[in-house]
């Protein structure tokens, strides 16, 4: 497959085997600390924003923390006790880039309150928050009206695009979920009120001394057991 990347408003053809990048992609938890060129990081996150967004809302964004600025991320999302006890902390802390994947629920609520996305008022029957009514969901009513929040789905699309794009560049990545410190972290980096942190992608060069997750030893359903045709 040919993937086309954009840099400084110009199309730059880059031949990338997307299937191969997907197969090679894995979580890296130990980095060697070498910086990643700013131009490479900017291109990767800009390309990641080309992931689909519902209603073309474009309610996702990235904040890139690199070099010493990554300390802000760790300060608010980890504790001194965890850093002292975790065998993974030294390798993770050497990641030169922490990219924060953000989403704005309010942007999607506003978009789906617009005329072309609103259900037919004559057909709409009000329902409890989070429940589909006969006439469709009143998604413009607020975040609680969404059975599946599109903003987190779109942030996940963008994060996956970054993971695959970085793999195609020969970089290592690790996705870290949002478990603690969201509010103080976003305040520390000046994120406007109303935005949510979906998760964080660490970028850098693997040092080959990774600590594989115990989850890799877990036996689960095969692909054949997870793909269904026609019915379950």
Quote the crossing angle between the two packed helices 38-48 and 150-168, to the nearest 10°: 140
**Whole-model pTM?**
0.82
Domains of the chain: 27-113+129-210 (3.40.109.10)
Q: pLDDT by residue for the chain (232 residues), tens digit each?
A: 344 343 334 444 444 577 677 677 778 899 999 999 999 999 999 999 999 999 999 999 999 999 999 999 999 999 999 999 999 999 999 999 999 999 999 999 999 999 898 765 544 444 444 434 444 557 878 888 899 999 999 999 999 999 999 998 999 999 999 999 999 999 999 999 999 999 999 999 999 888 777 777 888 899 899 999 999 9
Name every residue whose Cβ is closer than 8 Å to that of residue 63 and which is 6 or more positions away in sequence: 99, 100, 102, 189, 191
List helix spans (H) across 86-209: 89-93, 105-111, 150-168, 182-188
Paired with 102 in beta bridges are 61, 197
Give me the count of residues in the chain. 232
HSE-CB for 159 with a 13 A CA cutoff: 24
């Amino acid at each position: 497959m040919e993937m086309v990347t954009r840099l400084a408003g110009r199309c730059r053809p880059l031949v990338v085997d997307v299937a191969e990048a997907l197969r090679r992609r894995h979580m890296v938890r130990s980095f060697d600390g070498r910086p990643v060129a700013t131009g490479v990081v900017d291109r990767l996150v800009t390309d990641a924003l080309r992931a689909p967004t519902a209603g073309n809302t474009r309610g996702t964004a990235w904040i890139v923390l690199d070099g010493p600025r990554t300390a802000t991320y760790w300060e608010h999302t980890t504790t001194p006790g965890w850093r002292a006890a975790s065998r993974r902390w030294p390798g993770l802390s050497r990641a030169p880039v922490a990219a924060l994947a953000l989403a704005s629920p309010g942007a999607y609520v506003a978009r789906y309150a617009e005329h072309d996305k609103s259900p037919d008022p004559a057909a709409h029957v009000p329902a409890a928050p989070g429940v589909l009514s006969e006439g469709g969901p009143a998604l413009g009513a607020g975040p609680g009206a969404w059975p599946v929040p599109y903003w987190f789905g779109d942030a996940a699309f963008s994060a996956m695009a970054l993971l695959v794009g970085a793999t195609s560049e020969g970089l290592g990545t690790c996705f870290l979920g949002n478990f603690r410190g969201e509010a103080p972290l976003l305040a520390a980096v000046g994120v406007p009120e109303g935005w949510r942190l979906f998760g964080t992608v660490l970028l850098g060069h693997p040092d080959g001394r990774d600590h594989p997750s115990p989850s890799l030893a877990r036996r689960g359903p095969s692909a054949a057991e997870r793909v269904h045709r026609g019915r379950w």
